[in-house]
């Protein structure tokens, strides 16, 4: 529970200012006269006081039983900021359960199995949240998803199954970084000390949460297009649509990068430019949609799926740029 106390600012005759510290706080930390304290000024003008050389951290622990929902529960505990997740079994762990746990652990950055026996398995998150910058994680998600958006169209046009599969594989890393960013944001919102260390406000936390979600959606639409690539070999019948799709792909890539930059820079003009580019790309997609009607029925289905995904990616770019307008 948070305790709030108010104390008067005092001054000595020579102009030195001081306040007294709560006795319970001093005694609870085993401090004595002459011990060093650390004063840290945060981005919003607050001062944090802590014993010098002592970092306080209470590990958050959870105990889970083996169940059909074990993977989901591990994910929930990770996203909720738990440091230690202990999995227990009434009987000896089966090889199937062990594989399920190990597979679940690989989905989340920082999770490691640190203890293991026949009936008990301990998972620990080895990350220090105050040392991870949310912006850097967001930049990584953006970089991966941007290339996925470009490569998925290339795989469709060229009928390149190998490239389509790499797009799908990269989506797993996007998910890992997305989950990490969600964990960081939730931790910062529930632990003011962490948000102060990261110099991130609650509003910025919510912006990062929304930004991460939108970029994850962008990557998912790229996977949808890659999936179409695996279901067909379109390069033999694309015709004039091929050049149009290439143009849209390149313009979409630039627009996506601009939308992300507009949020980080708080650039309203760039955000407005993203909206303008979005209208142009959507017009191009409409003309492609009209050209689809000239193709065979099976071709129409594949191309329609791709155009729908590109339209959704276009909307994601606008939604991202809207975060800059809201700042």
pLDDT in tens, 51-80: 776 555 678 999 999 999 999 999 999 999
**Averaged confidence pLDDT in the chain:** 89
Confidence check: pLDDT of 306 > 80? yes
Both tokens assigned to 299:
């071709």
Position 322 scores a pLDDT of 95
| CATH number for the domain whose boundaries are 61-129 | 3.30.110
Mean pLDDT to the nearest integer, 127-153: 94
State how far the Cα of 230 lies from the Cα of 221, in Å rounded to an integer.
Answer: 15
When mean pLDDT is compared across 113-127, 181-195, 203-217, the lowest value belongs to 181-195
Map out the domains of the chain as residue ranges.
Answer: 10-51, 61-129, 132-326
Fold of 132-326: Methane Monooxygenase Hydroxylase; Chain G, domain 1 (1.20.58)
Cβ-based neighbour number of residue 187 at 10 Å: 21
Confidence check: pLDDT of 24 > 90? no
Confidence check: pLDDT of 228 > 90? yes
pLDDT > 70 fraction of the chain, expressed in percent and rounded: 92
Higher pLDDT, 50 or 204: 204
Confidence check: pLDDT of 236 > 70? no
Position 179 scores a pLDDT of 97
Locate tokens 């306040």: which residue? 19
Mean pLDDT to the nearest integer, 196-223: 92
pLDDT > 90 fraction of the chain, expressed in percent and rounded: 61
Position 1 scores a pLDDT of 47
Both tokens assigned to 171:
């989506």
Position 193 scores a pLDDT of 74
* Residue 292 pLDDT grade (very low, low, confident, very high; cuts 50, 70, 90): confident
When mean pLDDT is compared across 30-34, 138-142, 162-166, 253-257, the lowest value belongs to 30-34
Stated pTM of the model: 0.81
- Say yes or no: do domains 61-129 and 132-326 share a fold: no
* HSE-CB for 165 with a 13 A CA cutoff: 3
Residue 84, strand partner residues: 61, 124
* Residue 294 pLDDT grade (very low, low, confident, very high; cuts 50, 70, 90): low
Q: What are phi and psi of 56, to 5 degrees?
A: -85, 130
């Amino acid at each position: 529970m948070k305790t709030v106390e108010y104390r008067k600012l005092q001054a000595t005759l020579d102009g030195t200012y001081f306040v007294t510290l709560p006795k319970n706080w001093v005694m609870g930390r085993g401090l004595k006269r002459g011990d060093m304290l650390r004063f840290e000024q945060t981005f919003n003008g607050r001062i944090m006081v802590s014993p010098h050389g002592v970092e306080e951290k209470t590990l958050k622990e959870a105990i889970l039983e083996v169940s059909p929902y074990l993977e989901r529960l591990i994910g929930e505990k990770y996203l909720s900021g738990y440091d230690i997740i202990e999995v227990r079994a009434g009987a000896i762990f089966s090889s199937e359960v062990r594989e399920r746990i190990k597979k679940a652990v690989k989905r989340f950055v920082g999770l490691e199995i640190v203890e293991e026996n026949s009936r008990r398995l301990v998972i620990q998150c080895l990350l220090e949240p105050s040392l991870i910058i949310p912006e850097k994680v967001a930049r990584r998600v953006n970089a991966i998803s941007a290339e996925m958006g470009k490569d998925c169209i290339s795989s469709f046009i060229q009928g390149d199954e190998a490239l389509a599969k790499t797009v799908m594989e990269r989506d797993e890393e996007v998910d890992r970084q997305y989950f990490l960013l969600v964990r960081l944001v939730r931790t910062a919102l529930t632990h003011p000390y962490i948000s102060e260390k990261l110099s991130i406000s609650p509003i910025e936390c919510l912006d990062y949460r929304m930004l991460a979600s939108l970029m994850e959606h962008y990557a998912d639409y790229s996977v949808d297009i890659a999936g179409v690539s695996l279901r067909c070999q379109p390069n033999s019948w694309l015709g004039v649509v091929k050049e149009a799709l290439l143009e849209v792909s390149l313009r979409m890539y630039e627009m996506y990068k601009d939308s992300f930059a507009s949020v980080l820079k708080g650039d309203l003009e760039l955000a407005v430019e993203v909206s303008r580019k979005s209208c142009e790309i959507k017009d191009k997609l409409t003309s492609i949609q009209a050209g689809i009607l000239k193709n065979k029925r099976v071709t129409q289905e594949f191309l329609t799926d791709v155009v729908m995904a590109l339209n959704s990616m276009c909307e994601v770019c606008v939604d991202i740029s809207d975060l800059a307008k809201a700042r």
